[in-house]
Amino acid sequence: MKILVTGGAGFIGSNFIRLILEKYPDYEVVNLDKLTYAGNLDNLKDIESDERYSFVKADIGDAGAVDKAMSGIDAVINFAAESHVDRSIGGPADFIMTDVFGTYVLLEAARRHEVGRYIQISTDEVYGSIAEGSFTEADRLEPSSPYSASKAGGDMQVMAYHTTYGLPTIITRSSNNFGPYQYPEKIFPLFITNALEGKKLPLYGSGKNVRDWIYVTDNCEGIDTVLHRGEIGGIYNIGGGNERDNLTITGLILEALGKREDMIERVPDRLGHDFRYSIDCSRARALGWTPAHTFEEGVRATVDWYVNNRWWWEKIKSGEFARYYREQYGK
């Protein structure tokens, strides 16, 4: 199989590419990535010389580049997205262009080239917040942020292309991922690296907002399962079943690093901050997938990776991220 992975230089995409090349000796992967601030070829440094892997620098909104890259492709996995809620609040336009228009460009190319499977990587945030119980794939979408609204818009395009044109699409919606190679704007890498640098950990509001967490390679295994066994036209929630509030996450990180709780700094809450995400993953589990890591194992592996890979994150935090951090937190 020859797979086009878009956004493969990002966090989840790079972990997925590594998984596929390790798991399937006869598969080829083409990685198409624009290399925005969160796209980083260092994420794939260990496999860049693999003859089964190739890289194309391009925007998924560039129809010509996408059409060329799509030639001879058996399956498309679309990870490419603007994905940080805070950035979407400050500037929604990039999110709409990538997550909605870019998805449309990919769908058009997949239709022209009669691709065998198109997998859209989405998020549980499209469902909105839920006080009790868990969302199923049949529940209505009620996105709260410009980010989640843009992802919902992309999902709707995917569903429409399946219904209207018969394009063989599948959507996965995962819970919050954590693990190696995650850009340090998200809570796990930000708090771990800040603690290692002796900096404060900026915790929103009360810290009581709840997320379901999944270790990134478990999500990648779920996506792989859906790629090979999922029902065309289907939607699959992929979650870890590890609901924790942000204050608890912060405490676990500090404990793992032997740091004190006085490193926590309360900051004003995010606008429109959803209180709780929770998804029912029984459809994905029915395909034979289940997470391989406990939450505690994932946290330990994540902390250890950032401790042992300062070369990776130190140059990120001294670049574009430093400007963003000053604007976001005033320091």
Q: DSSP string covering 92-152, please?
A: -HHHHIIIIIIHHHHHHHHHHTT-SEEEEEEEGGGG---SSS-B-TTSPP---SHHHHHHH
- The DSSP code sequence of 47-77 is TTT-TTEEEEE--TT-HHHHHHHHTT-SEEE
Asked if pLDDT for residue 86 goes beyond 90, the answer is no
DSSP single-letter state for residue 259: -
Q: Which residue has the higher pLDDT, 171 or 37?
A: 171
Residues with catalytic roles? 124-125, 147
pLDDT above 70 coverage of the chain, percent: 100
C-alpha to C-alpha distance for 13 and 331, rounded to whole angstroms: 31
Selection from 144, 150, 171 nearest residue 276 by Cα: 144
Instruction: Give the pLDDT band of residue 331 (cuts 50, 70, 90).
Output: low
DSSP single-letter state for residue 276: B
C-alpha to C-alpha distance for 174 and 157, rounded to whole angstroms: 18
Tokens 């460009």 sit at which residue?
105
Asked if pLDDT for residue 279 goes beyond 70, the answer is yes
Torsions phi, psi for 91 (to 5 deg): -160, 85
Asked if pLDDT for residue 269 goes beyond 90, the answer is no
Q: Which CATH superfamily is domain 184-211+242-267+294-329 in?
A: UDP-galactose 4-epimerase, domain 1 (3.90.25.10)
Overall average pLDDT of the 74-95 stretch:
92
CB 208 within 8 A of CB 246: yes
Overall average pLDDT of the 248-254 stretch:
97
Selection from 174, 251, 256 nearest residue 215 by Cα: 174
Q: Side chain identity at 90, as an amino acid letter?
A: G
Q: Which residue has the higher pLDDT, 274 or 56?
A: 56
Instruction: Give the pLDDT band of residue 277 (cuts 50, 70, 90).
Output: very high
C-alpha to C-alpha distance for 284 and 266, rounded to whole angstroms: 37
Each residue of 131-150: pLDDT tens digit? Answer: 999 999 999 999 999 999 99
Which pLDDT value is given to residue 152?
98
Identical topology for domains 2-177+216-238 and 184-211+242-267+294-329:
no
Cα–Cα–Cα angle for 258, 263, 266, rounded to 5 degrees:
140
* Domain-wise residue ranges, the chain: 2-177+216-238, 184-211+242-267+294-329
C-alpha to C-alpha distance for 82 and 105, rounded to whole angstroms: 16
Overall average pLDDT of the 30-47 stretch:
96
C-alpha to C-alpha distance for 210 and 206, rounded to whole angstroms: 11
Distant-in-sequence, close-in-space partners of 238: CB < 8 Å, separation ≥ 6: 172, 173, 174, 175, 214, 219, 222, 223, 226, 281, 284, 289
Lowest mean pLDDT among 173-187, 210-224, 316-330: 316-330
Q: What is the pTM of this model?
A: 0.96
Lowest mean pLDDT among 110-119, 145-154, 162-171, 322-331: 322-331
2-177+216-238 — its CATH code? 3.40.50.720
